[in-house]
Structure 1
Amino acid sequence: MSEKSAPEHYSALVSMYKAAPVNAFYRPEMVVSEGKAEIEIEISEKHFHSAGAVHGSAYFKMLDDAAFFAANSLESEYFVLTTSFTTYLTRPVSSGKLKSVGKVVNSNRSQFIAESVVYDEQGREIGRGNGVFMRGKMRLVDALGYAGKTSLG
């Protein structure tokens, strides 16, 4: 880690996540550790499609976010970018708390490959995904919430 210790970096990533405007809608909770991230979201009707179950966008968000933050846990200077992400929706769900777990399965100088799984409240897999992430040009200290930054301007 260049400027922050690993625990400080993980805590700053959680702050950055909480500061993202989109999370005002989803209200997720996240824990980050080395090469791993876990996210929980309490499901409500605002997450539903017209057939009364969780919309695929919520699955994608949970899967991508868990994999993304697992990757960014290993990069302490730059914001990583999702370059591709494949999502599999395996079971519908319409209530309870969802939990996604992401982990880095491969990394090199130019990219991270991470996998994630989202589970329902009974621990059943309801979706999975994998993605490729690369180091971006934006420094983490310039990202909203990472180093105490409070506005996007």
Structure 2
Amino acid sequence: MYKKGPINAFFDPQITVSKGAALIECEVQETFQHAAGGLHGCVYFKMLDDAAYFAAASREREYFLVTVSFQVYLMRSVPKGLLRAQGKLVQFSPGLIVAEAELFDLRGREIGRGSGTFAKSPVLIESAAGYGSADGHS
């Protein structure tokens, strides 16, 4: 399901999800850069939000989650290379779902971090085309 999202045709990320955790990997492309040659902030946000989201979603089997709020800290610019976002679930309760993520460059340096709150949506996971274990939900 994750790979079938139209936006992921552009970013071509890889995803691994386990209980309470998620890993997103993506190779920086020239098209991801801003005019000064650094990685555009939208890439930081996408990778951090996706990693935190799927760490949270690993505990929710029935409904899609939605991001309610997400705070991003951009710590270092990167012009190229493989990026790795590691997300982890912090809190999962009926009224509050919190997850956080860290973003690393190829050398293992932290280049960004973020944390967010998530909520259950009314959309059933099984209603999505492409639902299955290869998509990060099993």
Q: Same fold (TM over 0.5)?
A: yes
1:11-67: CA deviation from partner (whole Å, max 9, x where unpaired): xxxxx1001000000000000000100000001101000000110000000000000
Inter-partner Cα distance in structure 2 for 1:144 and 1:83: 24
Unaligned runs of 5+ in 1: 1-15, 149-153
Q: How does 1:2-151 map to 2 (within 5 A)?
A: 16-147=1-132
In structure 2, give the amino acid aligned to 1:125. Answer: E
More strand by share: 2
User: What is the identity percentage for the equivalent residue pairs of Structure 1 and Structure 2?
Assistant: 49
How far off its partner does 1:147 sit? 4.7
Matched residue of 1:31: which SS? Answer: strand
In structure 1, give the amino acid aligned to 2:49. Answer: D
Deviates most, 109-118 or 97-106: 109-118
- TM-score, normalisation: structure 2: 0.93
In structure 2, give the amino acid aligned to 1:90. Answer: M
In structure 1, give the amino acid aligned to 2:8. Answer: N
Q: Which of structures 1 and 2 has the larger relative contact order (alpha carbons within 8 angstroms, sep 6+)?
A: 2
Unaligned runs of 5+ in 2: 134-138
